[in-house]
Amino acid sequence: MKTTFTLRLIHAQAEHARDAANQAFTLIDEIENALSRYIPGSDVSQINQMKSGQTLYISETCYECMRIALRIYVDSDGLFDITLGRQIEHQKNAMAGVVPRIEGQLMVDPDRPVIHCVEAGREIDLGGIGKGYALDRIVPLLRDLGIQSGLIAAGASTQLAFGENSWKIELTGSTNMPVVELKNQALSVSGISIQGSHIVSPRQAELTQFPHARVRVIHKEAACADAWSTACLLMTEGEIETVKDRIKIHCS
């Protein structure tokens, strides 16, 4: 996921908290080994190499993350799209030449962790949701290990607070940035100065500039906050109004 995970855990015994953190990092590694498009043999790398007519069984981890992403794709009217992998790679690496066309078709089986390749050529990238998904996954593990409260973060863009403690998050960037208080919530921030070069819009042909310089989203789930912060960066004010009752959105 090409980011640094940080865990701030509250427990009476430091050694116990350290052991729990090590188990959480192990789980993060397992999640990355399933979701990264850059790791040979990962679920995503195998999906991106599928041939027409091929069927692939994937891990529950990848299946669950993709199902969440597809739900947000529908709710965002297609603005959060994990199937733009070729275009994301082209833009991220500042490749020369024409932007690759989006071709091919994949189908996620609704009943079991299986991907069907209807037509070869489609590639997925879970970079816009994988970090948040990993944070969501490690909270139940930490609770099972006796850690009842903490603040966990994936880089500076996505953070998740759990338990009875409130956490004040100082946002970095331009002057007069507010302090956000989190309690059993996730915060994700997207902005053109942070990761604009990594964001590809399905409206690329008609998008001359990003509608917002920065968007921050608070949601109870980190995966949703992560994905929605990307989607909302591409939305007009009117489109944001249509989803504000489902998520807390702040634009600047």
Closest CA to 43 of 24, 26, 57: 57
Average pLDDT over every residue of 73-95: 74
Under 8 Å between Cβ of 188 and 124: no
Tens of pLDDT, residue by residue over 138-164, are 999 999 999 999 999 999 889 999 999
Q: Give pTM, 2 decimals.
A: 0.88
Mean pLDDT of the chain: 86
Residue 56, pLDDT score: 98
Average pLDDT over every residue of 182-190: 93
Residue 137, pLDDT score: 98
Amino acid at position 162, single letter: F
Please report which confidence band the pLDDT of residue 196 belongs to, taking 50, 70 and 90 as the band edges.
Answer: very low
Under 8 Å between Cβ of 171 and 158: no
- 135 HSE (CA, 13 A, CB side): 34
Average pLDDT over every residue of 106-132: 95
Order of strands across the sheet that contains 105-108: 55-57, 114-119, 105-108
Residue 230, pLDDT score: 87
